[in-house]
Amino acid sequence: MTSLTKGQAEDEFTKAIVRFEKEYLGRGPLDARTFFIKDMILVRLQGVLTPAEQKLVETSDGRSLIKETRRQLFETSRPLLAEIVASVTGSQLVSLHSDMSTRTGERIIVFTLSDDLDKRFR
């Protein structure tokens, strides 16, 4: 068991995801929250759209383009995200799910892990 509390680990994970967003995707969210739920991590990012993307979402083609581009970028980043999971939680990444709302500029990420985090963090 680690010396971090659950809240401290969630905070550390949030900071790592925001850093990843800035370094890998070029812009961080306006707000980010992380929740450890048994063998899952739920991350909610708000304000992820760039000003250019906010203009593009005004059309159906623009919304599709943004969602597909972000999906592909996210898919290629799986090894980096697995590293973040391992370094903060000590668990292995099993699966990764993400979706983004072009209407609200919010992204939800769900990480499924090899271990129950309730046993690791108090």
* For the chain, domain boundaries: 6-117
CA dihedral 15, 18, 24, 30 (to 10 degrees): -160
Tell me the average pLDDT of the chain.
94
Q: What is the mean pLDDT of residues 23-50?
A: 95
Q: What is the mean pLDDT of residues 46-65?
A: 94
- Where does the pLDDT of residue 3 fall: very low under 50, low under 70, confident under 90, or very high at 90 and above? confident
CA dihedral 7, 9, 13, 18 (to 10 degrees): 50
How many percent of the chain have pLDDT more than 70?
A: 98
Q: What is the mean pLDDT of residues 3-17?
A: 95
CATH 3.30.980, applies to 6-117: yes
Q: What is the mean pLDDT of residues 56-84?
A: 93
Query: Is the pTM above the cut of 0.85?
Result: yes
Q: At what angle do helices 60-76 and 6-25 cross, to 10 degrees?
A: 110
| pLDDT computed for residue 25 by the predictor | 83
pLDDT over threshold 70, residue 2: no
Q: What is the mean pLDDT of residues 44-69?
A: 94
Element (H, E) at 63: helix 60-76
